[in-house]
């Protein structure tokens, strides 16, 4: 009769250690991906807040076309500082006396958030020309 071994089935110590090492490496990789996503979400939230502050400044800082005149205006909205510069766009927009016309004005809005982030927007607005 051949000899029989009385060993119970199971994993050896080295197999268990290798499985634990694989699980640990996988958890570290997952943690790195989650951390990167959290940082990305934070950046997007700050950017969205900056754009919202810029829209608020745009709505309150730029006068309507009847009162739009070249110059610089500065102000504060909440914790954000903004500056609006208005300048004629191009040259030769003067009309002969007695004719109403529109003169394009370059409007630059620069906003600095409390965090130090800066956003600048340029647009063209039509203002009443000399009449």
Q: How far is CA 7 from CA 16, 18, 93, 95, in A?
A: 18, 22, 100, 105
The residue with greater pLDDT, 79 or 30, is 30
Q: Average pLDDT, stretch 90-109?
A: 69
Residue pLDDT, tens place only, 13-31: 999 999 999 999 999 999 9
- Residue 28: both structure tokens together: 């570290």
What's the confidence (pLDDT) of residue 64? Answer: 82
* pLDDT reading at 97 higher than 50: no
Structural domain contains residue 1: no
Of 85, 79, 90, 88, the C-alpha closest to 62 is 85
Structural domain contains residue 115: yes
Structural domain contains residue 54: yes
How many domains would you assign to the chain?
A: 1
Structural domain contains residue 7: no
How far is it, in rounded angstroms, from Cα 74 to Cα 53?
15
Structural domain contains residue 5: no
Whether this prediction's pTM lies above 0.85 is answered by: no
Structural domain contains residue 117: yes
User: Which pLDDT band, with edges at 50, 70 and 90, does 6 fall under?
Assistant: low
Give Dmax over CA atoms of the chain in angstroms: 125
* Range(s) of the domain holding residue 93: 13-128
β-strand pairing of 71-77 with 80-88: antiparallel
Q: Average pLDDT, stretch 73-94?
A: 82
Structural domain contains residue 18: yes
Q: How far apart are the first and last CA of the chain?
A: 121
Structural domain contains residue 44: yes
């Amino acid at each position: 009769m051949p000899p029989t071994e009385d060993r119970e089935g199971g994993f050896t110590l080295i197999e268990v250690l290798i499985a634990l090492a694989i699980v640990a490496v996988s958890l570290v990789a997952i943690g790195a991906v989650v951390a990167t996503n959290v940082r990305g979400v934070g950046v997007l939230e700050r950017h969205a807040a900056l754009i919202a502050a810029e829209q608020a400044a745009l709505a309150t800082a730029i006068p309507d076309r009847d009162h739009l005149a070249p110059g610089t205006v500065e102000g504060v909205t909440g914790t954000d500082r903004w500056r609006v510069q208005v300048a004629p766009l191009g040259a030769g927009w003067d009309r002969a006396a007695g004719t109403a016309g529109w003169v394009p004005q370059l409007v630059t809005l620069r906003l600095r958030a409390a965090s130090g982030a800066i956003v600048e927007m340029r647009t063209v607005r039509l203002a009443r020309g000399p009449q």
